[in-house]
Amino acid sequence: MTQTPTLQKAVYKGDLTDGMSVLDFIMDQPNVMPRLNDRVLNLGKSRYVDLVGTSKPSELSKSVMLSLKYASASKKEEKSAHLLTHWVVSDLATEKGRTLLLNALDQMRSSGRIRVGFIANPSAGASDTKLEKLVVGAAETLSPDQAAIKIKRIFYRYVLEPEVQFTADGNLAAGPYAKFTNMPGAPLLTQNMHVPENWLVESIVSPYDLDNIRLEEVQSVVHSQFELEHLLLEGHCFEATMGNPPRGLQITLGTESEPVVVDTIVMANLGYFQLKANPGAWILRLRQGRSSEIFDITSHEGSDTPVNSTDIKVLISSFRSHVLKLRVTKKPDKIGMDLLGEDDDSQPGLWNSITSTFGSSKEEQAEAETINIFSVASGHLYERFLRIMMLSVLKNTKSPVKFWFLKNYLSPTFKDFLPRMAKEYGFQYELVQYKWPRWLHQQTEKQRIIWGYKILFLDVLFPLDVKKIIFVDADQVVRADMKELVDLDLGGAPYDDLQIVFWKHGYWRNHLQGRRYHISALYVVDLRRFRKIAAGDRLRGQYQALSQDPNSLSNLDQDLPNNMIHQVAIKSLPQEWLWCETWCDDDSKKYAKTIDLTRPPDMLILNYDKSTHV
């Protein structure tokens, strides 16, 4: 800024013209001394470091300097000067080469202001260079200004082959596999899959708790099998006239013989939607009812359909991401109608058509009487808690019960056991899935990811004909009829929750303005109301803004709805619906309708007999 007046005056007088170099003009001034080294100022000379000892810079060194990508410990350090640069030239197929790279990365992480570049140097004739490709590919793919990076002592194995493999006798091979050897026995290990964004992969075979593997306690090898279950069809939908997302628009995906296989709603967040699909031909439509009565699909990109067709035909023919772009327009006689507006109950087929149009009246009545219980769990310990919670619900609830579980993190053992348990105790169940959208800020710790699923995707996790769900933590024991919660008047709020007084000063005291802080161990969600006021969109928008700060949302599933309490109302449940040793006295325990198992697992005493199979 101090040079700006000088330059303005020079331009005005004609001393500095368009054809001149501003740098040369400044450096030619009598008051400027060229204090920098001539090698820096003279752009005509090469600045490459000679790696081979010749008088002229080699082509190798030029190539390395131009293309090499560097890793650093944080986003801040990427943009600052580095005092030291390590070039690691090694063969990662050898233990020595891997150790060299790991040591360099460890020093980079601990000392600061150091960056590391990797140059693959595989041995002559080496056939397996997958690890080198992975490291080099990661460096080339991840931009330097990405904050999505933690250096851990983890090396990956590919389990994806580029083409179908056959045995020597011409039969189909069993499939690709990864084998880890010489693993430490004492540390607690986790086995996980990193897959493309549009893949839904689940573990289908393993007797072990893949979240908590301690090899010293395993008699033989830990074997697991994963399966690609679904390929996602993703998309973005906008109104053609205004360009805004049609918030709450309902979309179905099906076939000629089965028009509705899966359904979902369009988020206000980027107009995003996702639907579970598999290879084959699919038909995408607006859901019958309010959505199809108000809107028409007027244009689409990424489909396999003629432009003027009302039904969108989509062919899933590869494993790559398939993204649709839809434009919808209100029908001429529905211009003033709001998709999420108040219903006119005298007119059939509006918002009340959210219930299934394919079932008989008896089926609809049975569905209305069924109590829907939603829960999440990860790891064998909490799955044991989950079975106890289920039995306590069934023991005390007279109405039919249907359990809904987040499938993403259930173990193969629990999924195999669930049908037998359902047959034994006479309940229904369904497993729901949702892939964390790629545009939504990602969590890295599994527990925080599960917390996110508890609250961020309630409007899209369940089929659209499910009207109300009750979330119950896996470590709860229920001692009352859950029909009481179903019949509870929410007073227009989309959900009700348990209240506690944790915060007597500071941010929460000021923000809540006399209201109670609500926890997420047990809550009731009116899904129709929740979708109608776009509560999911509001929660995701607030999450996206707050989650960028690592110090915010320490208890994600509780802090987020409490922070949004002025926009998304919460009705407080009576205190007896959750008894917890942390904040409840012993005298109130006898009135408790649910009890939180907060004691350490080795102190639990459960009074269920052996016939409960838990």
Q: Does 453 or 612 have the greater pLDDT score?
A: 453
Closest by CA to 521, choosing from 437, 583, 605, 443, is 583
What pLDDT score does 79 carry? Answer: 57
CATH code of domain 371-609: 3.90.550.10
Structure tokens at 91: 């063969």
Q: Report yes or no: 237 and 273 within 8 Å, Cβ to Cβ.
A: yes
The segment with the largest mean pLDDT, out of 124-133, 446-455, 549-558, 581-590, is: 446-455
**φ, ψ for residue 70, nearest 5 deg:** -115, 150
pLDDT band at 282 (very low <50, low <70, confident <90, very high): very high
Q: Could you give the count of Cα atoms lying within 13 Å of 198 in the half-sphere of its Cβ?
A: 19
Q: Report yes or no: 391 and 421 within 8 Å, Cβ to Cβ.
A: no
Q: How far apart are CA 458 and CA 536, in angstroms?
A: 7
Structure tokens at 92: 């990662």
pLDDT band at 133 (very low <50, low <70, confident <90, very high): confident
3-state secondary structure of 40: helix
Predicted confidence (pLDDT) at residue 77 exceeds the cutoff of 60: no
Predicted confidence (pLDDT) at residue 59 exceeds the cutoff of 60: no
The separation between CA 357 and the C-alpha centre of its own chain, rounded to angstroms, equals 32
Strand order in the sheet with 70-71: 70-71, 114-120, 84-90
Q: Report yes or no: 274 and 259 within 8 Å, Cβ to Cβ.
A: no
Structure tokens at 548: 């960028």
CA distance to 448, 501, 510, 556, 574, per residue, from 504 (Å): 26, 7, 9, 20, 20
User: Counting Cβ atoms within 10 Å, is residue 522 exposed (0-12), middle (13-18) or buried (19+)?
Assistant: buried
What pLDDT score does 611 carry? Answer: 38
R_g of the chain, CA atoms, integer Å: 30
| Number of C-beta neighbours around residue 62 at 10 A | 14
Q: Report yes or no: 435 and 518 within 8 Å, Cβ to Cβ.
A: no
Q: What percent of the chain shows pLDDT beyond 70?
A: 76
What pLDDT score does 258 carry? Answer: 92
| Number of C-beta neighbours around residue 301 at 10 A | 12
Q: Report yes or no: 222 and 205 within 8 Å, Cβ to Cβ.
A: no
Q: How far apart are CA 193 and CA 471, in angstroms?
A: 28
Q: Report yes or no: 432 and 407 within 8 Å, Cβ to Cβ.
A: yes
Q: Does 513 or 232 have the greater pLDDT score?
A: 232
Residue 551's identity, in one-letter code, is: N
Q: Report yes or no: 413 and 387 within 8 Å, Cβ to Cβ.
A: no
Q: How far apart are CA 240 and CA 131, in angstroms?
A: 47
Q: Report yes or no: 101 and 113 within 8 Å, Cβ to Cβ.
A: no
Q: Report yes or no: 402 and 482 within 8 Å, Cβ to Cβ.
A: no
CA distance to 12, 349, 579, per residue, from 484 (Å): 82, 30, 17
Give me the residue spans of the domains in the chain: 3-45, 62-155, 228-339, 371-609
Query: Does the domain made of 228-339 have the CATH classification 3.20.20.70?
Result: no
Instruction: Look over the chain and give the mean of its residue pLDDT values, rounded to a whole number.
Output: 78
Q: Which of 64-73, 86-95, 266-275, 413-422 has the lowest mean pLDDT?
A: 64-73
Closest by CA to 298, choosing from 287, 283, 312, 313, is 312
Predicted confidence (pLDDT) at residue 609 exceeds the cutoff of 80: no
Q: What is the DSSP letter of 599?
A: S
Q: Report yes or no: 296 and 333 within 8 Å, Cβ to Cβ.
A: no
Q: Label the pairing between strands 468-472 and 517-526.
A: antiparallel
Q: How far apart are CA 97 and CA 89, in angstroms?
A: 8
Burial 430-466 (b: 16+ CB within 10 A, else e): eebebbbbeebeebeeeebbbbbbbbbbbbbbbebbb
Strand order in the sheet with 371-375: 428-432, 401-406, 371-375, 468-472, 517-526, 495-500, 570-573
Q: How far apart are CA 264 and CA 285, in angstroms?
A: 11
Q: What is the DSSP letter of 86?
A: E
Q: Does 128 or 271 have the greater pLDDT score?
A: 271
pLDDT band at 359 (very low <50, low <70, confident <90, very high): very low
